Amino acid sequence: MMSRFMLLALLLPLRNCCTAYSEQESVVFPVTYLNISKDLALQQLLVEWDVGESAHDAELAMSFEIQVRHMDENTTVWTRFHNVTLDKPGKPLRWIWHSDIPLECMSHSVRIRSKAEASRIWSQWSPWETVLGLDSSSNRGPQIFPNEKIIEEGSDITLCCIGRKGQLIREFILGKAVDFFSHTNRQVGLLTVKNVTHQHIDVYCRESCTEEQCYDYASFFVGRPPDTPGDFSCQTQDMRIVTCTWSQGGDTYLYGYHSPKYTLFEEFSQKVVPCTVSCSEHCVCSWNMGQQRIYNITVTVENPLGRRTATDIFDVTHRIYPDTPFQLWEECTATEITLYWKRRNKELELFCQTEVLQPDGKVELHNSSNMHLPYASITVGGLQPYTKYTARVRCGAAKHFWRWSEWSKAQTIRTKEATPSGKLDIWREITPIQGGQNVTLFWQQAPGFQANGQSISYEVTWEKVEGGSKPESLSFSSVYNSTRISIDNDSYRISIKAKNNVGYSLPSVLIIPRAAGTTELKEEQVNGRDGGIFISWEPRHIYDSYIIDWCNFPMLQPCDLQWKKFEPNASSALINSAAFVPGVRYNFNIHGSVANTASLLEKKTGYLRELPPLFDPVVEEEELTFNEVTLSWDSYPTNESQPGFVRGYHVYVSPIQEDCNLKGSKKYVLPDNSVLCKYTIENPEEKRYTLKHLLPNTKYKLVVKAYTGGGETPIGNFRYIDTPFNSNMLYLLVLIVVVPSLVAAICPWKMKWVKEFCCPVIPSPNKSKVLSFKEFKIGSEKVLKISDCIPDVLAVDNKAEAQKLHPWSQLSPTPTEDKIDGHNSSWIYSNKNEERGFTLTPIPQTQTWFENFAYSSHLAVESDPCQLPEALEASTPELSVVLYQPHYYFDIFNEDAASTLTETTGRKTSLRYISQTDVHCLGRRL
């Protein structure tokens, strides 16, 4: 029972809570009060409303939906949700709506509905509450709104023109070429301009009528809101007046009544600062400070488009900005300046700074804190005599330094004169003359030399080194820097000093040695680089310095002699001069100096940059043949008149009608792709050249070009030559053509003799009378018995001798040569048995040769099918084969041959003679 009671006790509060929540969820709190007003200056609708007191008592969190519309439109133009928690005092709720079109243009209506945030049910909409625009009023003509004619740059603006009742707006336009959107043909015309720029905008409106009262015109100004004041700060110069300064910022493009307005407000005293603002480059405002020392100043700037502020909090004793020093004067010596000045507010403890501008443009700062003298002053030392300096002064607070004062007016001061400091830089040029020497002396102010005076002059003194002669001297004004003196061949000591109103400088000394014979030195060529001419020399340890001299204008007189000195450990230098130009040869003399006595060591010559020769060699022909020509140009100069060292020559040659291809030359292609032959002469003094391997009877073009380190001139201005005809060819032509023709023309009656001499007739054996017998035939060939005729030569050998001389038994298919008793007798048996298809077999028979001057016959009696000669007569018609070959006869008329003939005659053998024509064996011709 107890547990049941406790359960009911827990469920009862839960039920009451749920019931209350359910009732709250279903209860609505409609708007009971709604009021609308308008602020035309700010173009705002002010909406005020309220709900029942029960909602306030419950302090409900509520949501409100607010709708705004124009009266001439049925659609809602703007909707906003506003969430708020109500309070018990029951104050009405407020909300502000900014209109995108002027509120004067038309009437606006507002309605609201509400709901508790815990509820899902909205209340009913309140009735529309309307605030009327001027479109419902009666006016005398069209009106353009808004009345405020200031527009912010970059914004979008909507303008309206309200016509009279019963009238429609026909035109509503801008006077300038600005993009806009216009809605007309109703009582209220609308015009929208996007992203307006800073300019003057004119607007024009017209109703549908044409009378004067049917028009309206308005002007609008486009500008910017002011920038926040920059660099805003306040300070005092005398602890009596406080001055605040700041920068204005950018232009607002609004002027006159609409220009920015500045006000200063002091937060601690809650008072407007009583000062008048003036602005030019910066804005300034000053007022008497009184007893107050700590300030919190706010500056406000505003115009019709906005406002900006800046604040400065400061202790005025820490913001002391001293007044500018004034009325400066000085006292000076040759090396010191004491500067004095006056200042206001002497009760302030200050320290000052002096700026001294040196003649070379450098600036030195000197501080001074001794401010208890009647006049403030500072002393600056370490200055140059008779030199102009510019000085000015500024001061700052010694305690709580904040910033420097403005610089005083600059004071120009010149120190007093002193004796010249340093030595002159001197040099000489010695020219031998009859009985002595001319010495030209040069001097200039060295880098460390200071004249230290207003006027300066030079004094030159010379005397013999030995002999105790009386010194001689000359004086020159400052406009001179050289002189010439004549001395004898003895050694002289020369000194040059500078002088001003105070005294002399230290002397510069030169020793001119006793005149002696000079050795001509060979000039060495040098090259320009890095904007100068590089010189090097062989160092000698005996000298304490080196001097290089040259002429800036070597082709002029005087040549503007220059010199430069170098330390004893130097061995090279790059000589620079503004007078150096390309194409001019400069000569340099290198001297070694010891004990003020200089000796010439080396000579150099060179160019800043070599250029091509000024002109080409004038070429002359010395000798011309059919295949070569000798050219010369002896008059061509190679001296300093040339704009570069002549290194040699190029000879270009080519036939007129074709490209060149001469032996020993190099090809050179011109821009027009024609080819020249190029020959190079590397010795500039060799001014003669012979062109060889030319073609006779040909026209050539040629040109000779000198070249330097800067190249050569463009190829052109060719010289033309014609090679003569080759006379040797003419002689050969006469021998080949004319002489045979002449012989043929003059000697036709000798043709038979010439023919017999050159081409003798070879007799045919078949026409010989020797073959006129009718004894015996083999086929168609006649056979002569040895007893029927006496042959020219007859030789009969036995078998052993034949085999020794000719290996007939082997029947070699290749020709053989045998030497007999030192004579070369050739019998060649060209065996072609392969073609006949049978093999020759030697038989033990005697071989016989029959020969005369024109022919050689060889007979061989072979076995099957040919038979022995002895059996030839008794044989059947199938006669034996006789091999025969004609051969040249070489040497048979000698003693050995005759002996052989005698021996052969005694032998018992038979011999047959075959005519010297082809014979047949087995039906085939041999």
Enumerate the β-bridge partners of residue 785. 912
Q: What is the distance between the alpha carbons of residues 485 and 495, in angstroms, rounded to a whole number? A: 13
The pLDDT-based confidence of 755 (bands split at 50, 70, 90) is low
Q: Of the ranges 19-28, 276-285, 488-497, 904-913, which one carries the lowest mean pLDDT score?
A: 904-913
Helices and strands (H, E) in the chain, number of each type = 8, 62
Contact 332, 416 (CB under 8 A): yes
Q: Where are the beta strands (DSSP E) in 576-722?
A: 585-594, 597-607, 620-624, 629-632, 648-655, 666-669, 675-681, 688-691, 699-707, 719-722
Mean of pLDDT values over 829-849: 40
Q: Between 909 and 528, whose confidence is greater?
A: 528
DSSP designation for 644: S
Side chain identity, residue 407: W
Q: What is the distance between the alpha carbons of residues 133 and 514, in angstroms, rounded to a whole number? A: 121
DSSP string, 373-412: SSSEEEEE-SPPTT-EEEEEEEEEESSS-----PPPPPEE
Tell me the pLDDT tens digit for each residue of 858-895: 433 334 444 434 433 434 443 333 443 444 433 434 44
Side chain identity, residue 513: P
Q: What is the per-residue pLDDT for 122?
A: 92
Note the pTM of the prediction, 2 decimals.
Answer: 0.49
Sign of the torsion angle spanned by Cα atoms 237, 238, 243, 244? positive
In this predicted structure, the answer to whether residue 521 has a pLDDT above a threshold of 50 is: yes
Question: If you average pLDDT over each of 323-327, 368-372, 544-548, 745-749, which comes out highest?
Answer: 544-548
Q: What is the percent of the chain where pLDDT is above 90?
A: 40
Q: What is the distance between the alpha carbons of residues 867 and 860, in angstroms, rounded to a whole number? A: 10
Side chain identity, residue 94: R
Q: What is the percent of the chain where pLDDT is above 70?
A: 74
Q: Between 344 and 335, whose confidence is greater?
A: 335
The pLDDT-based confidence of 907 (bands split at 50, 70, 90) is very low
Q: Between 572 and 157, whose confidence is greater?
A: 572
Strand, helix or coil at 527?
Answer: strand
Tell me the pLDDT tens digit for each residue of 610-627: 999 989 999 988 888 888
Q: What is the distance between the alpha carbons of residues 633 and 89, in angstroms, rounded to a whole number? A: 127
Enumerate the β-bridge partners of residue 472. 462
Q: Between 807 and 267, whose confidence is greater?
A: 267
Which residues, including other chains, have CB under 8 Å from residue 345's CB and lie 6 or more apart? 237, 238, 239, 322, 323
The pLDDT-based confidence of 139 (bands split at 50, 70, 90) is confident
Strand, helix or coil at 283?
Answer: strand
In this predicted structure, the answer to whether residue 28 has a pLDDT above a threshold of 90 is: no
Strand, helix or coil at 284?
Answer: strand
Q: What is the distance between the alpha carbons of residues 213 and 141, in angstroms, rounded to a whole number? A: 5
In this predicted structure, the answer to whether residue 71 has a pLDDT above a threshold of 60 is: yes
Q: Where are the beta strands (DSSP E) in 248-381?
A: 261-266, 271-272, 278-279, 283-288, 294-303, 306-315, 326-332, 337-342, 350-357, 363-368, 376-380
**Alpha helices (H) along 131-191:** none
Q: What is the distance between the alpha carbons of residues 312 and 267, in angstroms, rounded to a whole number? A: 10
Contact 105, 133 (CB under 8 A): yes
Q: What is the per-residue pLDDT for 7?
A: 54
Q: Between 109 and 14, whose confidence is greater?
A: 109
**Which among 108, 103, 114, 110 has a CA at the least distance from the CA of 65?**
114
Supply the mean pLDDT for the chain: 79
In this predicted structure, the answer to whether residue 831 has a pLDDT above a threshold of 80 is: no
Tell me the pLDDT tens digit for each residue of 425-477: 999 999 998 889 999 999 999 888 989 988 899 999 999 998 777 899 999 99
Tell me the pLDDT tens digit for each residue of 90-105: 788 999 998 888 888 8
Tell me the pLDDT tens digit for each residue of 791-811: 655 555 554 544 444 443 443
Residue for token pair 């400061």: 314
Sign of the torsion angle spanned by Cα atoms 872, 878, 880, 881? positive
**Alpha helices (H) along 621-750:** 727-733, 739-746
In this predicted structure, the answer to whether residue 72 has a pLDDT above a threshold of 80 is: no
CB neighbourhood size of 257 (10 A): 8
